[in-house]
Amino acid sequence: MDEKLKSPQEKAEKIKEVFGELNKKFEENEAVRQAKTLQVPYFDLRHFPIDENVLMAVPEEVAVAARAVPFYKEIKTLKIGFVDPTNKHLDTLVGDLKKKGLEVELYMISASALEFALTQYRRILSTAPHHEKEIEIRPTEESTATLRALDKAAVFPDTTELLSLIIAAAISAGSSDIHLEPEKEVLKIRFRMDGVLQEITNLPMSVYQHLLSRIKLASNLKLNVTNVPQDGRFSVHRGTKNIDLRISIIPSAYGESIVMRVLGAEEISVDIENLGLSKRDMDLLLAELDKPNGMILTTGPTGSGKTTTLYAFLRYLNRGGVKIITLEDPVEYQIEGITQTPIDHGAGMDFAKGLRSILRQDPDIVMVGEIRDLETAETAAQAALTGHQVLSTLHTNDAAGAIPRFLDLGVKAVTLAPALSALIAQRLLRKICQKCKEIYKPDNKELDRIKLTIATVPKDRMPEHLTFYQSKGCEFCHKIGYKGRVGVFEVFAVDDAIEKLIYESASSQDIKKAALKAGMITMQQDAILKAAYGLTDLAEVWRVTEE
């Protein structure tokens, strides 16, 4: 187009463009001059494509404050482009990167080059491909061995394949949690198997940033935020089934530590007969569960199997003609035929309010995930008195301690005593591997301890011979020596004697004595009997039940 025919606006735009280019050229020349003065290398970053994982080594807000941006990484050397050598945030940034084991090389860049680089943060966040969030897994018996072997590998799968392998290995090993922990030299991968963290492998730190970005992307977390905790979740596909993972990411000394909780890899389908209850405890609990009303409490710390026990009770009670409603925080496993209600603290739906609401739904059986306060405790006890079967959990060390705990919350003895039906305390023991177990002979000191512990166990509950075992570890148990878990329990019903003690506000010691007199055995005694039947070993007994 002829220059004369251009409109004034077009001419103004052209002039602005020309001056903009001249200004950028001036800025580059000024950056080159300043680099020579400071005796540092210069780099033209105006059109340099920065890799996503390199850029994410420095959060956007840190880059903006320091007026500096990472643009290239080679092994443990990170190249940083900076504008102002006097910027105090630049020194902090370099110091933080060195603490993470990185060597830092500084390059002078122009202000316009920095602005171009900073726009790439937004580009990466806005163009993250949604289709890449789909992750397929195919767990096999070899998955864990394949993952372990990567610590000696020269070539690694791509990021999505590596993440799929880690999750598949965890599921095939029966892991509940996957821990990805960056250290100075390596990325440590550990699985929580049967309640105990097991080190699986160490991977080079070169794969860490890729894995972290992949997990954040799948979980809809902020890629450029690294200095505050983030929580999210995503699903992986195993054939036609989805498996959910709950993600927790927190800052640590050498990066961000990641924990992935595996949800729903296997439905909770334990029948009451397979919990590990003795015949006496089973008969007692079935008799209480068959009553139309009353409250059954199971106690123990987090991870002691309380939820599994309550779900086993619900499966037993889930038959025609009854309505069952649960109140859970959160609902992690679905049970067909039962109305399961999640707690929503954001909407003001806590256990107390939720329990009042579900009682208006005319249920026959109510399960409350946990009793923490007077209002919930009192409402649950009143429900048990008015024709409902109530199941719940409480955090106490033993079964007898649940009664003083209720009274301490403020529940009146006149309400509690007739409401309570039975109390349970439990822990989970790892079962020794049945493929590689062998006889173990305790020394005299340990044998004396065993005999002293089980001295009060009724003879009809004792095995004919005390034979103990241990496992060395084999391929079947991933060389750990344990495979699966079994519950150990102490169980008692609230009979007339214990009801009288409740009215008297008796101590947990007095209640425990009365329960023992009525036939209860302690968790440690139950654990020793399970060891004598070859289900676990003595090391596990002492580890879990040591008082």
Q: What is the pLDDT of residues 447-492, one digit of tens each?
A: 999 999 999 999 888 988 889 999 999 988 888 999 999 999 999 9
Q: Are residues 91 and 180 in the same domain?
A: no
pLDDT at 10: 63
Q: Residue 73 CB: number of other CB atoms within 10 A?
A: 18
Query: Looking at per-residue confidence, does 303 or 264 come out higher?
Result: 303
Residue 213's pLDDT band (boundaries 50, 70, 90)? confident
The one-character DSSP state at 344 is B
Instruction: Flag whether 119 is in a domain.
Output: yes
Residue 24's pLDDT band (boundaries 50, 70, 90)? low
Question: Six-digit token pair at 406?
Answer: 């209720």
pLDDT at 14: 59
Q: Are residues 108 and 178 in the same domain?
A: no
Residue 131's pLDDT band (boundaries 50, 70, 90)? very low
Provide the residue range defining the domain that includes 285.
272-545
Percent pLDDT > 70 in the chain is 92
DSSP H or E stretch at residue 25: helix 8-38
Which domain-ending residue is among 211, 241, 263? Answer: 263
Q: How far apart are CA 4 and CA 14, in angstroms?
A: 13
Smallest CA-to-CA distance from 306 within 374, 368, 263 is with 368
| Packing angle, helices 508-517 and 402-409, rounded to 10 | 140
For the chain, the average pLDDT equals: 88
Residue 22 predicted with pLDDT over 80: no
Q: How many domains does the chain have?
A: 3
Smallest CA-to-CA distance from 82 within 95, 93, 96 is with 93
Report the Cα 516 to chain-centroid distance in Å: 36
Which domain-ending residue is among 263, 296, 329? Answer: 263
pLDDT digits (tens, 9 = 90+) for 323-366: 999 998 877 777 888 999 988 877 778 888 889 989 999 999 99
Provide the CATH number for the domain around residue 98: 3.30.300.160
pLDDT at 8: 64
Q: How far apart are CA 259 and CA 5, in angstroms?
A: 65
Residue 1 predicted with pLDDT over 60: no
Instruction: Flag whether 10 is in a domain.
Output: no
Residue 130 predicted with pLDDT over 60: no
Q: Are residues 147 and 223 in the same domain?
A: yes
Residue 416 predicted with pLDDT over 90: yes
Q: Could you give phi then psi for residue 371, rounded to 5 degrees?
A: -105, 120
| Interior angle at CA 351, CA 333 and CA 421, nearest 5 | 85
pLDDT at 80: 95
Residue 219 predicted with pLDDT over 60: yes
Q: Are residues 282 and 246 in the same domain?
A: no
Instruction: Flag whether 50 is in a domain.
Output: yes
Q: Are residues 80 and 142 in the same domain?
A: no
Average pLDDT over residues 100-116: 90
pLDDT at 129: 47
Instruction: Flag whether 3 is in a domain.
Output: no
